[in-house]
Amino acid sequence: MAVVTRQSSAKRSRPAMRRQSVENLTVGLPLTRLHRLLDETLPQFDRPLAVAAANAYSDLLARRDDGRDDLVRIDDVLSAFLNNNRYKPKAEIIFEVHFLQGMIRDSLYHTEEARMSYTRALWIASCTQSIPQMKLASTLHHLAKTYAQTGNYAEATKLLGKALTEYESCQMSEKHACMEDARQCYRIYLEKQLGNQLTRSAVHRLSRIFEESESEQPGF
């Protein structure tokens, strides 16, 4: 099965990075989970897709280029897998594909696409009891960050609050990196949200004052 790639569009969307920057590109990307999906799950459904994904993954680790094209190739393989109606994967597999696509697209700075993937993963998690609570919390956490990246701090704060509740229900340590990041981001987003509200309120008040002063001007 041929996989259509978006390599050229990926290059246009952001300047090319140096070879050594592949480490920064994959920071936060759960490579172990990604490798398990590509190496163990995909071959059960489509061997050619699995081979294409394995080659892209190997190239990513070998750093033959800046890493972006390799992630795009993996993303395309996962999209082809989801779009093939012949497959009947379990909800857990579909969730995992959407979540990892979100992580990949986040790494590529494709924020809107990442948000879409996380939202789909969250929807699946809300419709089944088979998704672990920790994965649900992580999805909420990452989805919140995509909203913050586009300035929607109200939605980001709401989602992070839910993520923190899920983390606490899992009895996650306060010193865990995910918990610390979620709490720090929650404080930052809340401050920005309040700042935006104050700014809008101030603009509204100034507008009212201007309108009132205009109405008090004597006519000519």
CB 144 within 8 A of CB 115: no
The domain boundary residue, chosen from 130, 165, 185: 130
pLDDT at 59: 87
The domain boundary residue, chosen from 96, 114, 130: 130
196 with 105, same domain: the answer is no
Ordered DSSP codes for 66-98: -SHHHHHHHHHHHHHHHH-TT----HHHHHHHH
pLDDT at 165: 94
Scan for tokens 């419709």, then name that residue. 127
Q: Kindly report the CATH number assigned to the domain that includes residue 163.
A: 1.20.58
pLDDT at 189: 92
pLDDT at 112: 96
Neighbours of 118 (CB within 10 A): 28
pLDDT at 62: 83
pLDDT at 86: 83
106 with 149, same domain: the answer is no
Residues of the chain with pLDDT under 50: 1-27, 202-204, 206, 209-210, 220
70 with 150, same domain: the answer is no
Euclidean distance between CA atoms 212 and 46, whole angstroms: 69
CB 157 within 8 A of CB 183: no
The domain boundary residue, chosen from 130, 155, 181: 130
Expressed as residue numbers, the domain containing 53 is: 1-130
CB 55 within 8 A of CB 38: no
pLDDT at 10: 40
pLDDT at 213: 52
Euclidean distance between CA atoms 62 and 56, whole angstroms: 10
21 with 73, same domain: the answer is yes
21 with 126, same domain: the answer is yes
Residue 10 phi/psi, 5° resolution?
A: -65, -40
CB 28 within 8 A of CB 107: yes
104 with 6, same domain: the answer is yes
**Tokens standing for 66?**
């800046």
Q: How many domains does the chain have?
A: 2
In tens, the pLDDT along 132-183 reads: 999 999 999 999 999 999 999 999 999 999 999 999 999 999 999 899 999 9
One-letter amino acid for residue 125 of the chain:
A
One-letter amino acid for residue 14 of the chain:
R
105 with 139, same domain: the answer is no
92 with 79, same domain: the answer is yes
